[in-house]
Amino acid sequence: MRQVVMHGPGNVQVEQRQDPKIIEPTDAIIRLSATCICGSDLWPYRGAEPVDHQVMGHEYVGVVEQIGDDVHTVEVGDFVVGSFWASDNTCEICRAGYQAYCVHRVLMGTIGTQAERARVPLADGTLVATPGMPDPSLIPSLMAASDVLGTGWFAAVAAEAGPGKTVAVVGDGAVGLLGVLAAKQLGAERIIAVSRHADRQALAREFGATDIVEERGDAGVARVKDLTDGLGAHSVIEAVGTQEAMMQAIRSTRPGGHVGFVGVSHDVAIPGDELFMAGVHLHGGPAPVRRFLPELVQLIWDRKIDPGKVFDLTLPLDRAAEGYRAMDERTAVKVLLTV
Amino acid sequence: MRQVVMHGPGNVQVEQRQDPKIIEPTDAIIRLSATCICGSDLWPYRGAEPVDHQVMGHEYVGVVEQIGDDVHTVEVGDFVVGSFWASDNTCEICRAGYQAYCVHRVLMGTIGTQAERARVPLADGTLVATPGMPDPSLIPSLMAASDVLGTGWFAAVAAEAGPGKTVAVVGDGAVGLLGVLAAKQLGAERIIAVSRHADRQALAREFGATDIVEERGDAGVARVKDLTDGLGAHSVIEAVGTQEAMMQAIRSTRPGGHVGFVGVSHDVAIPGDELFMAGVHLHGGPAPVRRFLPELVQLIWDRKIDPGKVFDLTLPLDRAAEGYRAMDERTAVKVLLTV
């Protein structure tokens, strides 16, 4: 089968590799309908994380082709969505809603889903079947549920977005934009998107943003304070992963407010004295997307949300390298790869 | 009147100073019945914070002697307890339960309550009157409510201690010990106190600790994991303020669990990548003690809790210097000063 391999920074190739096989009786093999490139894939692409002939991709939707003997909740032929962490969904941590920390978790990125087929460990816990075979127009949104929507949703939940709340979103990538969508769905009264790009601002507004702030860093903080009687937002989503974004998020939050951070943290150190004096709640990390998947799949199936709009470039898997380049150069927000 | 003044590190004196006067119509003047020395007073005492002829003390109970024209909820003759932040208790931040960040807040430490009398700004919002004149045996516990109990309580609430939860407490000072008491009151199933001092361990057990861990740092983390099926505690209270204690707290918490941190942060930097991967909730800072005061005063009045036990040394105000020395040398957990 064909599979995307990153040979080194900036060097993405599509290669012929062995088809995956069932290893554990709890595995399933899926034939991918689509996969995509994640903002976090850009860290190794840009040399900010080590990479050496690494299979890529951790987002996936597709059809179950084969199941192990111990798989009971999905069947061959089902159309399924899963998260970037395979999880048993039965351990104490999973039951508490933190499937990204399942005691048996497997990182799908080590398997690589930018490929024609993929082995999904812990299939019963990991995969959620759609109510039927989806209309092709639903594929991008179901694809988004696999990571960026689930991550933006978790960020909004972690930030306790809800009725009566003002939510600020730092980061206008796919996750930040879907954090806006999530905040809107969760009932937020006012949603401030931090973005300086007209196209992303437009999508943010379409997803529910009521205000746009173009300034970054402390100037961005000052604008959010201006918009909130000097107090700061109740809820702030951090969807970048840099020191500047994290501090902008913390400083934009009122005392007692909530920061939900999901940008993969790079070279960030949070000063204890400032956090102490800020009085905010801080929660985040790799999103337990599985917690939200059944609800998100249903919202998409019922066409109540259209998160697939974050994909502004669609390419066949063979042209994955072009997709990486487009996201690196920010000519695309998010690239869908058809298989 | 007599008032405690810290001339410089290690140099505490009791001086004659002017009696306080009503400045704002929302002020009250109280005659202190007792005051005390806070663990945070040791930072300047030890030279870890600058200090130069600073009035000291921010904890207080006493009798209202005089009120401004705009004070309506307390009367001359009332016995009152207040927090270390004066707060209006009516602004949006106060109403959300974060009185330590009241938009009109005044830090009582700048007024100095290790004194015979003190001016309390925003008296209506700040002071809580007891149901009557307290029996002298209740004074230490009411005194504790002013800060250490309220702070330990906030830490336990921030850590979401409650039924079915395992709570670990890092720090065996007065706040940590009262964090144990608070966790017990909030219904925690299991309470692990981190302490290597026999007398503090005994008090922790009396307050509700079910397990004691003597190890610090990563060894302490390993012990907590051993006690929790390798997962970590649901709730962890950090009541020290050092890098080691903060990291011990974060690492002792299971993914999705809650850290409540109230140790005044000194030279702490939280690595973003580790916090990201930990998946914990982090909340803390100066405790909004006022939020909890009515409930705490009632629990004390009804003799359901006895937080005053943390005071293991009582001295007259004139001997404040001895009290500082005892706390600095850890021969006393917490010193009550009678006025």
* Model pLDDT for residues B40-89, shown as the tens digit of each residue: 899 999 999 999 999 999 999 999 999 999 999 999 999 999 999 999 99
Mean pLDDT in runs of 10 for chain A (339 residues)? Answer: 97 97 98 95 94 96 98 98 97 98 96 97 98 98 97 98 98 97 98 96 98 96 98 98 97 98 94 97 98 98 98 97 96 94
Question: How far does the CA of residue A338 sit from the closest CA of chain B (Å)?
Answer: 31
> Of B238, B255, B284, which marks where a domain is finished?
B284
Cross-chain residue pair B283–A282, CB shorter than 8 Å: yes
Rg of chain A in Å (alpha carbons): 19
Question: How far does the CA of residue B9 sit from the closest CA of chain A (Å)?
Answer: 21
Looking at the structure, do residues B119 and B206 belong to the same domain, yes or no?
no
- Relative orientation angle of helices A174-185 and A198-207, to the nearest 10 degrees: 20
Looking at the structure, do residues A223 and A121 belong to the same domain, yes or no?
no
Phi/psi for A182 (5° steps) reads -65, -45
Query: Structural domain of residue B22, as residue ranges?
Result: 2-147+288-338
Contact of B76 with chain A, judged by CB distance below 8 Å, is answered with: no
Cross-chain residue pair A276–B285, CB shorter than 8 Å: yes
Cross-chain residue pair A271–B273, CB shorter than 8 Å: no
d(C-alpha B264, C-alpha B40), whole Å? 7
Cross-chain residue pair B256–A98, CB shorter than 8 Å: yes
> Of A265, A284, A303, which marks where a domain is finished?
A284
Q: Report B:27-56 residues touching A (Cβ under 8 A).
A: none
With a CB cutoff of 8 Å and minimum separation 6, the contacts of B295 are none
Cross-chain residue pair A93–B272, CB shorter than 8 Å: no
d(C-alpha B168, C-alpha B261), whole Å? 12
Number of structural domains chain A divides into: 2
Looking at the structure, do residues B106 and B166 belong to the same domain, yes or no?
no
Question: How far does the CA of residue B224 sit from the closest CA of chain A (Å)?
Answer: 16
Residue ranges of chain B with per-residue pLDDT less than 70: none
Whole-angstrom CA distances from B125 to B142, B178, B293 are 18, 24, 11
Residue A224: per-residue pLDDT: 98
Kindly report the number of other CB atoms within 10 A of residue A132's CB atom. 9
Looking at the structure, do residues B236 and B331 belong to the same domain, yes or no?
no
Looking at the structure, do residues B62 and B14 belong to the same domain, yes or no?
yes
**Strand, helix or coil at A307?**
helix
Residue B205: per-residue pLDDT: 98
Looking at the structure, do residues B143 and B154 belong to the same domain, yes or no?
no
Looking at the structure, do residues A175 and A275 belong to the same domain, yes or no?
yes
CA dihedral of B79, B84, B90, B95, whole degrees rounded to 10 = -110
Cross-chain residue pair A279–B98, CB shorter than 8 Å: yes
Q: How many degrees, rounded to 5, is the angle at CA A24 between CA A20 and CA A30?
A: 40
**Average pLDDT of the residues of chain B:** 97
d(C-alpha A291, C-alpha A305), whole Å? 18
Contact of B163 with chain A, judged by CB distance below 8 Å, is answered with: no
d(C-alpha A41, C-alpha A114), whole Å? 11
Looking at the structure, do residues A135 and A158 belong to the same domain, yes or no?
no
Which CATH number characterizes residue A279's domain?
3.40.50.720
